[in-house]
Amino acid sequence: MPESNNSDAAQSPRLSSAPWLAAALSLPIPGLGQTLLGAMGRGASIFLAVAISIAIILWQDLASLFSLIAFIWLWNIWDAYSLARGTTRSFLPPLFATLIVVYVSGWIITEIEPDKLFGQADRAAPIARGMLSPDFAEQESESRKERGAFEVHCSNNPPPTTTTRNDGATITLSSSCGEVDDTLLVEGNGFWPNLETEIWWANPIGQEQRLTKAGEQISITTDDQGAFTVEIVVPLAIPLSHDTGEPQPHAVQINQTRIIGGWQISENGWLVIEKMGETIAIALVATSFAIFFAIPLSFVAARNLMSSNPIMLLVYYVVRTILNIVRSVESLIIAIVFVVWVGLGPFAGVMALTIHSIAALGKLYSEQVENIDFGPIEAIRTTGANWWQIVAYAVLPQVVPPFLAFTIYRWDINVRMSTILGFVGGGGIGFLIVQWQRLAQWEAIGAAFWSIMIIVALLDYVSAKARERLV
Tell me how crowded residue 237 is: count the other CB atoms within 10 A of its CB.
Answer: 18
d(CA 452, CA 471): 28
d(CA 75, CA 70): 8
Exposed (0-12), middle (13-18) or buried (19+): which is 244, by Cβ within 10 Å?
exposed
Look up the pTM and report it.
0.68
Give, in order, the Cα–Cα distances in Å from 186 to each of 123, 168, 221, 247: 35, 17, 14, 21
pLDDT of residue 284: 92
> Tens digits of per-residue pLDDT, 99-108?
999 999 999 8
> Please, are residues 257 and 141 in contact by the beta-carbon 8 Å criterion?
yes
Beta bridge partners of 4: 88
Q: Helix or strand or coil: residue 262?
A: strand
Architecture of the domain defined by 267-470:
Orthogonal Bundle (1.10)
Give, in order, the Cα–Cα distances in Å from 450 to each of 271, 426, 440: 14, 21, 17
d(CA 364, CA 324): 11
d(CA 155, CA 246): 8
pLDDT of residue 47: 94
Q: Helix or strand or coil: residue 146?
A: strand
Residues of the chain with pLDDT under 50: 1-11
d(CA 304, CA 190): 85
pLDDT of residue 226: 94
> Please, are residues 443 and 133 in contact by the beta-carbon 8 Å criterion?
yes
pLDDT of residue 307: 80
CA quadruple 409, 414, 416, 420: dihedral, nearest 10: 170
Structural domain boundaries in the chain: 4-112, 139-264, 267-470
Task: Tell me 121's DSSP state.
Answer: G
Q: Domain 139-264 class?
A: mainly beta
pLDDT of residue 14: 56
> Please, are residues 398 and 305 in contact by the beta-carbon 8 Å criterion?
no
> Tens digits of per-residue pLDDT, 16-57?
667 888 889 899 999 998 898 888 999 999 999 999 999 999
d(CA 27, CA 34): 11
Backbone angles phi, psi at 80, to 5 degrees: -65, -40
Strand order in the sheet with 228-233: 162-164, 170-173, 183-189, 228-233
> Tens digits of per-residue pLDDT, 148-163?
999 999 999 999 999 9
> Please, are residues 228 and 197 in contact by the beta-carbon 8 Å criterion?
yes
Nearest 5°: the CA angle 109, 112, 114 is 165
pLDDT of residue 1: 41
State the DSSP H helix or E strand holding residue 353, giving kind and residue range, or none if neither: helix 346-370
